[in-house]
Every structure is written in structure tokens, then in C-alpha cells.
Amino acid sequence: MQLSHIVIFAAGGLIFAGFCPSRLRGWLLMAASVVALYWLQPTLTIFYLDFALPTITLTLAVALWWLTRPPETPALDGDDRLALALLAGLVLALSATRYLAPELRPTASRAPDVPPVALALLLLGLAGWLISRAIRARHGRLTAALIALVGLFIILKTPPLASGLAAALRGLTGQNQALAAPLDLEWLGFSYIAFRFIHTVRERQMGKLPALSLREYVTYIIFFPAITAGPIDRAERFIKDDRALLPAGENPAARLLTAPRLAEAGGRIGMGLFKKFVIADSLALLALSAANAGQAQSAGALWLLLYAYAFRLFFDFSGYTDIAIGLGILLGFKLPENFDRPYLKNNLAAFWQSWHITLSNWARFYVFSPLSRALLKRKVKAQSAVFIAQMATMLIIGLWHGVSGGFIVWGIWHGLGLFVHKWWSDRTRKWYLSLNQKPRLKTAWTAAGVFITFQFVTLGWVWFALPLESAWPVFWKLFGMTP
């Protein structure tokens, strides 16, 4: 999000909180999130793709809502029909803005004409119906949806595959295929959207997903404060806040624009703006990058660049999270925290409980816990099961950022670090507990843990900041060695 987007969202949130009738809040929020989905989508070079991708997001949301409904749910009720009609109407209305002046269009570029869009919506609906008829078993449908989501995620996150798909799309539009690049498929928020989709599919497979209306499901998936940088909320938590927006009689909770709420929201948004646009953007001038890594003449200079990158990353991500949480508060939602002073934690496990918390929790729920349980059931030794599960979890977190050598090494780096930490803590637990009787020694040990953990995490950012071929020389140069 740019500063102009945030200002407009905050102003809209004030109007929403102060003047929107409670019976319309949920509907207006869904409509605003749909418009924001198209408005925030980056401009793409492939014709009409920056309109098609948000439309596909909405189509997937409708399809997965249908698939994840409880088995006993009857046919569409009145609210679901209204939500479906509103979604289709909004897409067609956004398409019709092609006739407006460029500065008045809410879409990234000029949208396609209305008739082709209407036809595409009908064909997508028909395709979904045919697929659901072809796969009769409900569990089979959910499994197929899960495989499709993971497959699409892998394609978009793997540069050669993304370039191949971009070339194919350029061929369909008559554009130069030689110019195809992964950035041709820059899909707004897909990393977060995909993990929300997978969350709802897995929760339905386990029978834990609450019944959601179409409006509730779509709003959860594309809630505009959290669309670009998270957090990855859980549906059951999000929906409690959403339902509190509906008519509540004289319940004071139904009044959104209160002085404490306004102060809390303003404080978080202001803090986020300062972190992102003052601190992070200033540190970006100094932070380690492929452009300046080769210019550093000494190990000390490289460490300075790396520390700047570490803090720039934190203030950038946590700043956007503060903004999202502040906007959420303004709209009546308490989004989960994503950062809790991670660089002050005294071990790596504590770091991962306080850095990108919702992503870490997602990976623990859907990768580490089920994988470790499955390995233990197969009589794999506990230590080996933990090692495999930790490595797999951190690799998934690394690959979530992109399928590349650097992110793979970064995931392995943290997976090994977590395993070594567990091995060490298991063997020193009694000794560590004895430090409660020696407060000065415990304070010194805690400070040492904070220092070591920060250095380990910071070294790992080398693989995050640089391409793999550049990261190795920089890593060794940090220690005064030449590869």
C-alpha cells in the first residue's frame, strides 16, 4: 500500500465507523474490499491481466466457500444470493469504468468491456459447476482444491514456471513472448490469500470450520487492511468480529466510533506510518542489496549494511502490520498481532513465536504438528521426527516467500538452528532452572542469548536479501574470508 491508499482507507474507515448503519456494515465492508482488491492490484504488462487476477481471486473465493460449507447446509439462502449478485454486479461495474477518464478509474489499467466480462463470469460459473459434478465425493473435491491451490502457488512462486506461464499468456494476447518475466504475474496478496484458502479447506476437512455465509467468507479472504501484508487471520476469530458489526440493539459494542477506539486506531496507524515511511524507507538507503554488496570494502562495512537490512525488514513488515491493525480497529476488527519485539528474544524458538507470528502459527498448525504426529505414529524416533518436521516447516516458510535457492538455504538455516536450540535446551534445562537462584548470572545469560539469537537471525538475512550466487561470497566476507 502507498501512503495515498492508507490515507483514503483511514478516511473511509472514519466515515464507515461514524455514519454507516449497523445493518449495512457487513455488506459495505465486502463491497469496499472488492473495490480495494482491484484498486491495489499492480499494473501488469499482459493485456487485461491486472483485471483478470482480482476477478479470479473472487471466483476462487466463491468456489471455495461453496466447497467448504458444512455438508448439511441447504441451498443458497437469500443473503448468499444477494452476496453473489453483489459480487457479480461489482465486477461488471468496475469493468464499466473503462469509459471513465484514466484518473477516475479504480482499476490498475483500462478494464475489458462489460460483455466479455459477463460472459467470462458465466463460463467460470459453468466450469465450477461441471467440476463439482465430475468429482462427486465431497472429500475428493476438497483434496482436489487443496492440490490445485498448492500447484498454483508453486507455479507463481517459481520464477521459471511463472515466466513460462507468462509467455503462454502473452502468446494468447499476441504480445512478445520473449519479454515474459515472473513480474508479469504479480498477483496482489496471493501469498496471504492462498494460505487463507488452504486454512479454510483444511479446517473443513477436519470438521472444525464454522458455517460462513458467502459475504462472511469473501470478506475474510480479501479484507482490505490485511490484503497486501497480512496478518493471516483465522476464520473463526475473524468471523466473531464480523458478526459483531450486525445490528445489536442498544449494545454499546455496536457503536464503532468511540473515543478509545479512535485513539487506539490512530495510534497504531501513526506508529505504522512512522515505522514504514520514516525508519524503514530511510534504512533502505543503507540496507544490504545486490547493488551495494560488492561495493563494501571490508567486513565491518558489510556488517553495517546487513544490520541496516535486518532493521529495515522489521520496521517495514511491522509498520505495515501496525497500519493493518489500526485500520481493522477503525472498522471494528481486532486483527492478530504479527510481531512482538522479535530481536529481543533470547533463543530462536522465542524469535519464531514473535516474528511473523500468524505465518509461524499457520505453519505449525498445518505442517509441523501433523507431520510430527504422522512420523511418531510410524515409530520414527522422537528426535528424528522433530528434526524432519522442523526442517520441513522452515522450508515451507522459506518457499512461501519464493521458490529459489536463497529462500531454501534460509529455511534450512533456521531449521537447523531450531533443531540445535532444542537439542541444547533439552540438555541444559535443569541447569537453566537453577539460574533462578542466581539472578545476576541469569540476566547475563539472557543477554548473551539475545545477542547470539540476533546475530544468527541477522546472518540468515544474507540469503533473504541476495541472490544465491551473491549471498555465498558475502557470507564468507562477513568473517573476513574469501570463498
Which active-site residues does the annotation give?
401
- Name residue 70's amino acid: P
**Do the Cβ atoms of 465 and 288 come closer than 8 Å?**
yes
**Residue positions counted in the chain:** 483
Q: Dig out the grid coordinates for 414 from the structure.
A: 533456521
User: To the nearest 5 percent, what fractions of the chain are helix, strand and coil?
Assistant: 75, 0, 25
* Structural element, H or E, at residue 355: none
Whole-number Å distance between alpha carbons of 213 and 377:
37
Q: How far is CA 253 from CA 15, 47, 164, 247, 423, in A?
A: 17, 46, 51, 10, 48
Q: What is the rounded CA–CA span in Å between residue 391 and residue 91? A: 42
Residues 6+ apart with CB under 8 A from 367: 389, 392, 393, 396
Q: Other C-beta atoms within 10 Å of 130: how many?
A: 9
Q: Which amino acid is at 221?
A: I
Please say whether the beta carbons of 464 and 288 come within 8 A.
no
Crossing angle of helices 49-67/138-157, nearest 10°?
150
